[in-house]
Amino acid sequence: MKFRIDPSAQKALSLGKDAVFRLLVLMMILLGWLSAMGTSALFSLEEVYHQWQLSQKSHISVYLMPDSTPQQIRTLEEALIIIPGVHDLQPLSQSVVRELIAPYLGYDTNLPMPKILDVEVDQSLNRDVFDARVKELFPMAEVDDARAMLETVAESVRFVQAGAFLAAAAVFMVLASLVALTVRSGLRAQQHALNILQYVGATNAFLKGLILRQVFARAAIGMCGAIIMSAASLAVLNVFYAPLVPYVTSKVWMAAIGAPMLLMLVVMVAAYWSAGATLTADYDMNAPKKKAA
């Protein structure tokens, strides 16, 4: 069985003669770039959140009363360091504490400063055990509890991500609809050629093959354009906005390349569906015939 389509047959059904169909490349570049940027932003946001979450989880501050003695603090250090998940303990110097608390005290610098113990922990730490041990030795102590804030931020991040996913889905839907319209428009413009091919015995599968080849060729050009534009945009951001660099990971680059490729898949599925629907409608023998454009 031969799979190569003869150039004459390919030339016979030339959808590119339709101006709307020719826009497919441009549409693919713009929407591909948009979706690539959106997906990259999504992955960057995930990375920002992940790194921030790690830093929040790895440090706990224990606030002790100003009159706590060095002996009491040492006892607390000895009690906490043996808790699984605690790596290091470091009392902050009074100057650092003053700097941290100054915004909340205004100009009143004569107030006694609390003692702050900076505790480095990992994820295996059982916070309830830690908090109970602190309260046992220092009933008046306050322990930072970032869990509520982490949850709020996590919810916000997930909300933003869900919004971005919906926007991406909308972009994909829009593109699918536009592709369906362009294929339909291209076929309408080629109604005369389409009818002749049908009269000489072209099957729907053959015609779909001709259509999909042309859609693929244009969409592939658009996809390459979108990938190049997305990669260039990320490179420019990396060069001119240094704080972003740690968050542009390999995942972000993959997203920038993968989104237009996924869009290409959507284009091909939409084109296949649209071509099938148009050809089936055209074969409704007793339906009034459409006029060639």
| Closer residue to other proteins in complex, CB, 103/288 | 288
Q: Confirm or reject binding of residue 291 to other proteins (CB under 8 A).
A: no
- Residue 104 sits in the site that holds other proteins (CB under 8 A): no
Q: Are 117 and 91 in contact (CB under 8 A)?
A: yes
Whichever of 90 and 280 has its CB closer to other proteins, that residue is: 280
Of the candidates 278, 44, 284, 259, which has an alpha carbon nearest to the alpha carbon of residue 168?
259
- How many CB atoms lie under 10 A from the CB of residue 177? 12
Beta partners for residue 86, in sequence order = 121
Q: Is 87 in the site for other proteins (CB under 8 A)?
A: no
User: Which of 94, 204, 233, 249 is close enough to bind other proteins by CB under 8 A?
Assistant: 204
Find the part of the chain contacting other proteins (CB under 8 A) among 22-30, 71-79, 200-208, 211-219. Answer: 200-208
CB of 293 vs other proteins, minimal distance in Å: 13
Angle of CA points 276, 277, 279, to nearest 5°: 65
Site size for other proteins, by CB under 8 A? 34
Secondary structure percentages of the chain, helix, strand, coil, to 5: 70, 5, 20
Of positions 61, 198, 233, 249, contacts other proteins by CB under 8 A: 198
The set of residues, in sequence order, having a beta carbon less than 8 Å from that of 4 and lying 6+ positions away, is none
Q: Are 91 and 73 in contact (CB under 8 A)?
A: yes
Cα separation, 120 vs 81, whole angstroms:
10
Piece in contact with other proteins (CB under 8 A), picked from 5-13, 28-36, 60-68, 131-139: 5-13
Does 50 bind other proteins (CB under 8 A)? Our answer is: no
Residue selected from 94, 195, 233, 249 as contacting other proteins according to rule CB under 8 A: 195
Q: Does 191 bind other proteins (CB under 8 A)?
A: no
Tell whether residue 187 is a contact of other proteins (CB under 8 A). Answer: no
| Contact between 188 and 293 (Cβ < 8 Å) | yes
Mutual orientation of helices 204-240 and 147-189 as an angle, nearest 10°?
Answer: 140
- Give the relative orientation of helices 204-240 and 191-199 as an angle to the nearest 10 degrees: 140
- The only residue of 106, 199, 239, 240 in contact with other proteins, by rule CB under 8 A: 199
By CB under 8 A, tell whether 148 contacts other proteins: no
The span of 168-176, 180-188, 194-202, 258-266 binding other proteins (CB under 8 A) equals 194-202
CB of 202 to other proteins, least distance (A): 6
* Distances from the Cα of 4 to the Cα of 1, 186, 190, angstroms: 9, 22, 22
Verify binding: residue 277, other proteins, rule CB under 8 A. Answer: no
What mask, x for binding other proteins by CB under 8 A, covers residues 230 to 269?
Answer: ----------------------------------------
Question: Rule CB under 8 A: is residue 6 a binding residue for other proteins?
Answer: yes
User: Could you tell me the smallest distance in angstroms from the CB atom of residue 20 to other proteins?
Assistant: 18
Q: 13 phi and psi, to 5 degrees?
A: -110, 85
Location of structure tokens 């490729």:
261
Residues that bind other proteins (CB under 8 A): 1-9, 11-12, 14, 17, 192-193, 195-206, 279-280, 283, 285-288
